[in-house]
């Protein structure tokens, strides 16, 4: 019988075991590395594709915003042309026409009011898209990129045309208007008499006569770009839901609120339509009552200083998800503070008439509030990470069925 050398056999088995373990260890490490780097590359690739898709949605939404802007231009042009035509047909009796209509037509003809402001392009998204050429690789659709580049080029060409063409620029120069005021006693003038002169001028009548052409070009350009938006959305396979989610994400610039974060006093200042300073103060108390105070600081050429007009409403509030339901009590408190103004003695009757007009407007608002009774408005509300900045928005239904969102950004002044 052949003897087996156990030590030699054991060494052989032991070596094979070590080699096997080593191989398994190397293979395991290799697979682990491959899985790690493979997964990393996979998720990086998915992340880049998602980034490219967001860039595409942003660009398409930019087209949609431009379409909406141009449709707004067309509608405003139509409404103002009707008012201008009406005044031309009643040119000998303009003193019987309401001030609001006269003022609106005057602004329509005044350069630097509408078109004269340069039809300013909001090109923030355009700059992001055109400067992010590295991200174009993530879009992986050359046709889409070409169409967006053409759109941005065409939009600039169109805006440049609007600023250069006589058919588009309002004919009344602001300097002429200011000089007219300077040459008028007390720096005021009879707007009805001035419009009678203006509406007989050839350049004014020429501008008004081209209104239908301006409307048509606005509308046709808006429709062309609406079609382009649909085509780009199709090319990228982007759903309406994705666009809606993108729009909603842009509206929400903060975090949802908790009641304890909202409690306190919040303030902001802004500029009104007459360049007056507006101050808004929202006070929320723990017992869900509060006050909304709106203050305007009114300046005029008749006096030095400002008249301070304040309106205060008592409210009841309730937090509902990402909105705040605010119920306004029908009692409004108004004050008109004239202690901060000075004027020449001979202007006292005019000043008193001006102040009385504020009191009359305030009494009218109070009466309307009493008739309406309690009213509830839902405001969108978000807070920033520091819990000191509040985004406060309100959606208003317009007569044409569209919606308009107004937003304020308020700073916390104190807790309750």
CA–CA gap between residue 274 and residue 276 (Å, rounded)? 5
Q: Are residues 238 and 309 in the same domain?
A: no
In the predicted model, what is the mean pLDDT of residues 368-389?
86
CA–CA gap between residue 220 and residue 241 (Å, rounded)? 27
pLDDT category of residue 119 using cuts at 50, 70 and 90: low
Query: What is the number of structural domains in the chain?
Result: 2
List of residues 6+ apart from 99 with CB closer than 8 A: 191
What is the percent of the chain with per-residue pLDDT over 90, rounded to a whole number? 30
CA–CA gap between residue 52 and residue 45 (Å, rounded)? 11
CA–CA gap between residue 416 and residue 259 (Å, rounded)? 12
Two tokens at 273? Answer: 């339509």
| Other residues' Cβ atoms within 10 Å of the Cβ of residue 317 | 22
- Whether residue 219 is contained in a domain is answered as yes
Residue 364, domain CATH: 2.40.128
Q: Are residues 62 and 211 in the same domain?
A: yes
Q: Are residues 59 and 169 in the same domain?
A: yes
CA–CA gap between residue 113 and residue 275 (Å, rounded)? 13
| Other residues' Cβ atoms within 10 Å of the Cβ of residue 295 | 18
Two tokens at 26? Answer: 């190397």
Q: Are residues 225 and 293 in the same domain?
A: no
Q: Are residues 245 and 285 in the same domain?
A: no
Q: Which of 222, 226, 225, 224 is nearest to 214 (CA)?
A: 222
Strands (E), 191-274: 264-271
CA–CA gap between residue 137 and residue 128 (Å, rounded)? 15
End-to-end CA distance of the chain: 102
pLDDT category of residue 13 using cuts at 50, 70 and 90: very low
Q: Which of 363, 362, 353, 349 is nearest to 308 (CA)?
A: 362
Length of the chain as a residue count: 416
Find residue 326's DSSP bridge partners.
317, 377
- Whether residue 33 is contained in a domain is answered as no
Q: Which of 84, 87, 107 is nearest to 95 (CA)?
A: 87
- Whether residue 349 is contained in a domain is answered as yes
- Whether residue 22 is contained in a domain is answered as no
- Whether residue 27 is contained in a domain is answered as no
Q: Which carries the bigger pLDDT value, residue 296 or residue 176?
A: 296
Q: Are residues 104 and 154 in the same domain?
A: yes
What is the percent of the chain with per-residue pLDDT over 70, rounded to a whole number? 81
Q: Which carries the bigger pLDDT value, residue 115 or residue 5?
A: 5
CA–CA gap between residue 155 and residue 186 (Å, rounded)? 45
Q: Which of 159, 144, 157, 155 is nearest to 229 (CA)?
A: 144
The three-state secondary structure class of 33 is helix
pLDDT the model gives residue 114: 43
Q: Are residues 297 and 161 in the same domain?
A: no
The three-state secondary structure class of 343 is coil
Q: Are residues 223 and 340 in the same domain?
A: no
pLDDT category of residue 43 using cuts at 50, 70 and 90: very low
DSSP 243: H
Task: Please say if the pLDDT value at position 92 is more than 80.
Answer: yes
Give the chain's mean pLDDT.
81
Among 251, 269, 287, which residue terminates a domain? 251
Task: Please say if the pLDDT value at position 230 is more than 50.
Answer: yes
Q: Which of 255, 256, 260 is nearest to 416 (CA)?
A: 260
Residue that has been written with the tokens 């201008």 in this structure: 84
- Whether residue 221 is contained in a domain is answered as yes
- Phi then psi dihedrals of residue 146, to 5 deg: -60, -45
| Exposed/middle/buried for residue 301 (C-beta within 10 Å: 0-12, 13-18, 19+) | exposed
Least confident among 104-118, 292-306, 393-407: 104-118
In the predicted model, what is the mean pLDDT of residues 349-362?
86
- Per-residue model confidence as pLDDT tens digits over 181-228: 777 776 667 888 889 999 999 999 999 999 999 999 999 999 999 999
| Domain residue limits at 393 | 259-414
Q: Are residues 232 and 329 in the same domain?
A: no
CA–CA gap between residue 117 and residue 111 (Å, rounded)? 8
Find residue 292's DSSP bridge partners.
282, 313
The three-state secondary structure class of 69 is helix
312's enclosing H/E stretch is: strand 307-320
CA–CA gap between residue 207 and residue 285 (Å, rounded)? 55
414's enclosing H/E stretch is: strand 403-414
- Whether residue 312 is contained in a domain is answered as yes
pLDDT category of residue 254 using cuts at 50, 70 and 90: low
For residue 221, CA distances in Å to 69, 71, 145, 244 come to 11, 9, 20, 24
- Whether residue 6 is contained in a domain is answered as no
The three-state secondary structure class of 172 is strand
Q: Are residues 126 and 164 in the same domain?
A: yes
Among 231, 251, 271, which residue terminates a domain? 251
Q: Are residues 295 and 203 in the same domain?
A: no
Q: Are residues 179 and 78 in the same domain?
A: yes
Q: Which of 236, 200, 182, 211 is nearest to 52 (CA)?
A: 236
Among 215, 230, 251, which residue terminates a domain? 251
- Per-residue model confidence as pLDDT tens digits over 292-306: 999 999 888 788 889
């Amino acid at each position: 019988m052949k003897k087996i050398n156990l030590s030699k056999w054991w060494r052989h088995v032991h070596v094979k075991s070590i080699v096997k373990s080593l191989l398994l260890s190397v293979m395991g490490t290799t697979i682990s590395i491959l899985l790690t780097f493979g997964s990393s590359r996979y998720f990086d690739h998915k992340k880049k594709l998602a980034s490219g898709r967001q860039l595409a949605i942003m660009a398409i939404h930019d087209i949609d915003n431009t379409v909406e802007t141009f449709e707004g231009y067309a509608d405003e042009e139509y409404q103002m042309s009707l008012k201008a035509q009406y005044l031309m047909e009643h040119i000998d009796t303009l003193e019987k026409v309401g001030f609001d209509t006269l003022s609106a037509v005057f602004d329509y003809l005044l350069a630097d009011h509408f078109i004269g402001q340069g039809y300013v392009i909001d090109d923030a998204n355009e700059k992001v898209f055109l400067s992010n050429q590295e991200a174009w690789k993530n879009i992986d659709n050359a046709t889409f990129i070409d169409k967006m580049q053409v759109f941005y080029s065409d939009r600039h060409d169109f805006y440049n045309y609007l600023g250069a063409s006589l058919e588009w620029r309002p004919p009344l120069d602001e300097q002429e208007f200011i000089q007219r005021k300077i040459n008028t006693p007390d720096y005021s003038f009879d707007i009805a008499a001035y419009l009678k002169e203006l509406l007989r001028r050839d350049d004014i009548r020429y501008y008004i006569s081209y209104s239908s052409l301006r409307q048509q070009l606005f509308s046709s350009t808006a429709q062309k770009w609406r079609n382009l938006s649909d085509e780009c959305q199709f090319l990228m396979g982007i759903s309406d839901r994705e666009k809606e989610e993108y729009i909603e994400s842009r509206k929400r610039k903060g975090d949802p609120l908790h009641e304890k974060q909202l409690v306190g006093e919040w303030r902001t200042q802004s500029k009104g339509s007459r360049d007056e300073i507006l101050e808004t103060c929202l006070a929320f108390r723990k017992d869900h009552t509060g006050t909304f105070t709106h203050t305007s600081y009114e300046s005029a050429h008749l006096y030095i200083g400002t008249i301070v007009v304040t309106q205060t409403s008592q409210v009841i509030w309730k937090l509902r998800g990402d909105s705040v339901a605010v119920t306004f009590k029908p009692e409004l408190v108004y004050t008109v503070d004239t202690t901060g103004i000075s004027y020449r003695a001979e202007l006292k009757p005019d000043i008193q008439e001006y102040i009385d007009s504020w009191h009359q407007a305030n009494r009218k608002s109070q009466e309307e509030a009493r008739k309406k009774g309690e009213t509830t408005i839902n405001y969108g509300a978000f807070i920033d990470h520091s819990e000191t900045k509040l985004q406060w928005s309100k959606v208003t239904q317009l007569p044409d069925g569209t919606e308009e969102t107004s937003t304020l950004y308020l700073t916390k002044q104190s807790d309750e």
